[in-house]
Amino acid sequence: MKTTPAAVGTDRAPAAKEAFYQTKRFRQNIPLFVMLIPGVLYYLIFRYLPMGGLVIAFKNYNFRDGIWSSPWVGLKYFEILFQSNVTLQIIWNTLNLSVLSLIFGFPAPIIIAIALNEVRKSWLKRWIQTIIYLPHFLSWVIVAGIILTLFSIDGGTINKLLGQWGMEPVPFLYRSNSWIAIFIGSGMWKEMGFSAIIYLAAISGIDPSLYESAGMDGAGKLRQIWHITLPGIRPTIILLLILGMGRLMEVGFDQVYNLQNPTVLQKAEVISTYVYKVGLQQAQFGLTTAMGLFESFVGLVLVLSANALARKFDQGLF
Amino acid sequence: MRESTGGKIFVIFIHVVLIIISLTCILPFLHLIALSISSGHAVDLGQVWFWPVGLDFTVYIYFFENTPALRAFTNSVIITLCGTALSMLATVLTAYPLSRRYLYARKPITTAALFTMLFSGGMIPTYLVMNSLHLTNTYWSLWFGGLISTYNMLIMKSYFESIPGEVAESAQIDGCGEVQLLMRIILPLSLPMLATLTLFYGVGYWNMFMSVILYINKTNLQNLTVIVQGMLQIQGNFNMSAMDMMQQQEMVSEKLKAVGVVVMVVPMLVVYPFLQKYFVKGIMLGSIKG
């Protein structure tokens, strides 16, 4: 009796079959690895090689000897870092600005997403969305330009308005408290609409029948939001909170650099701007690399601990 | 469904708040555009709100003729077009293999990429690497420095993974190789995602600021963002130090600020509406899996 071709395949010994799939898998992998070459090179050269360069935080770096041959200085730069009032103030400023940004900026997109979800007229919803996403796509240079136009003391729109009402001009950008308020407000203005997209996606995944039955049980809008919407988007909220925690040590360079001015530097100088000014422009590589390393390290610890905490509630990211 | 009076008031309140927020997002631009094309006199008297008073385009002419803005604009276009193309290519070529389940070492490579989102060498070591490769003062430092955004790469990878496996398998049974599979099947199915990431990279390169001030010292290579930022900075000092400057000149400089911002924003405003419908879809699809 002849076997059909299909039966030959099934009769083949398991080992041979295994070997067949192994060769097939290997053959499939060759083009994939070729494709991966640019990506792997990028990550190795421009992401991982600089991590190796962090050793200059422990070295007296000079251009002549290069990274590897420069003499070791141990923890000298870290001692300077934590003994100098200037650097301590800068670390404090960094935390201050980023914690305030997180406290005010984090809930804003959640509120916007919940509010947008209540807009039933789809044309209005689309218009609002289109407009509030826009600021996200502008550079901080532009936003800073807008802020200067609105708030500057001479010729700023708001001060012109105050002048027309017979009031004294207010130096909004030169007082540290109003500067911080403008800093946080501008961050919220720029990102809250766009960040709402992810929450909107999460809300659209909630089963509508939950709202219907809650409505029948007599739950009002606010109760529905509290008992259905918020629990429904909790995983998303926690995920984004972890990511936000990880970024606590870094306030964006572009935002601070473009908004700060010499008058408020006492409160407005942060790690990244200091590293740029003192490290690169004055070539103090060791000290500022130590500062950057401290920033990255604390950021890493923060994100890992936030994740460990979230894991306790089964919401961990890794 | 019937709604209570309280519910109705709540919904009206929400509408009012959202409309106010939208207005704060759009009115500053109308104000700046109006400022930039109004007469200097009207600007100085504070008469200009959202509608230009006494048209005057001389500052635009001044902006492009007497400042490095025109060359900077060209530089921005070159940086953006080449950078976006390179980044998209590298991102697709990395995301696609990582989305294939049969790739060897798939997990470790993905983790290694993910780790760079949590920890980095920081500004100075990165600068020293760029410098030792002689990439500073070339656009390669801008293109290579941010070649792949790990976040973009990961959402593209999860998008590729969301394409049903049967589609790829049937093509492979028909003798389709990896490259053909990517080009003919996967990419055409991923157009919303490709459009989204093109927009993100494009905007990133157009707005690029920090990398340019770090790596590019030569004025003739700088982009529009840096040039406009320089104008805003100089102006602050200029207004404080030279109080005896002629009124006329001060008006010009204040309008110059508005012109710089408008010139940077307008190309974005032109492209944005066309890509907007894609990116919302793209982000939503990418974010659901996370």
For the whole model, what pTM was predicted? 0.87
**Cβ contact A49:B121 at 8 Å:** yes
Q: Which residues pair with B38 in a beta bridge?
A: B55
Distance from CA of A105 to the nearest CA of B (A): 15
* b/e map B14-49, b = 16+ CB within 10 Å: bbeebeebbeebeebbebbbbbbbbbbebbbeeebe
Say how many Å lie between the first and final Cα of chain B, rounded.
34
- Grouping H, G, I as helix, E, B as strand and the rest as coil, residue A72 is strand
What pLDDT is recorded for position A60? 82
**pLDDT reported for residue A57:** 87
What phi and psi values does residue B55 have, to the nearest 5 degrees?
A: -55, 140
Q: Which amino acid type is present at position A164?
A: Q
**pLDDT of B83:** 97
Question: Is residue A263 classed exposed, middle or buried when 0-12, 13-18 and 19+ CB atoms within 10 A define those classes?
Answer: middle
How far off is chain B from A85, nearest CA to CA, in Å?
A: 22
Q: In the beta sheet, which residues pair with residue B55?
A: B38
Torsion, Cα of A284, A286, A288, A291 (10° steps): -160
Mean pLDDT, rounded, for B182-210: 90
Taking 80 as the threshold, does the pLDDT of residue A228 lie above it?
Answer: yes
CA distance B106 to chain A (A): 11
CA gap A67, A48 in Å, rounded = 15
Structural tokens at position A46: 């421009």
State residue B46's pLDDT score: 72
Does any CB of chain A come closer than 8 Å to the CB of residue B32?
yes
* Helix, strand counts (H, E) of chain B: 15, 0
| ipTM, two decimals | 0.87
pLDDT value at residue A112: 94
Six token digits for residue B117:
């989102």
Closest CA to A169 of A186, A151, A185: A151
Residue B261 to residue A149, Cβ atoms within 8 A: yes
- List pLDDT tens digits, range B159-193: 898 888 888 888 888 878 888 888 888 999 888 88
Per-residue pLDDT tens over the stretch B220-271: 999 999 998 888 876 444 444 444 444 445 555 778 888 889 999 888 888 8
Per-residue pLDDT at A160 exceeds 90: no
Token digits for A304? 């890992």
How far the first Cα of chain A sits from its last, in Å, is 57
For residues A33 and B93, the answer to whether their CB atoms sit within 8 Å is no
Say whether pLDDT at A126 is over 70: yes
Statement: residue B28 has pLDDT above 70:
yes
CA of B188: how far to CAs of A31, A180, A270, B132, B153, in Å?
20, 47, 45, 40, 17
B13 in contact with A, Cβ within 8 Å: no
What is the mean predicted confidence (pLDDT) over A23-38?
A: 88
For chain B, the C-alpha Rg in angstroms (whole number) is 24
A184-193, A234-243, A263-272: which range is least confident on average?
Answer: A234-243
> Which pLDDT value is given to residue B246?
45
pLDDT at B213: 92
B235-254 residues touching A, CB cutoff 8 A: 236, 239, 250, 254
| pLDDT tens-digit map of B47-104 | 778 888 888 888 888 888 878 889 999 999 999 999 999 999 999 999 999 998 889 8
pLDDT over 90 at A208, yes or no: no
Got the DSSP string for A212-255? HHHHHTT--HHHHIIIIIHHHTHHHHHHHHHHHHHTTT---HHH
Higher-scoring residue by pLDDT: B149, A317:
B149
B280: chain A residues, CB-CB within 8 Å? 129, 133, 197
Concatenate the DSSP letters of all residues of A17-54 into one string. HHHHHHHHHHHHHHHHHHHHHHHHHHIIIIIIHHHHHG
**Rounded Cα distance, A19 and A28, in Å:** 14
| Contact criterion met (CB below 8 Å) for A224 and A211 | yes
For the stretch A244-254, pLDDT in tens is 887 777 788 99
> What is the per-residue pLDDT for B290?
39
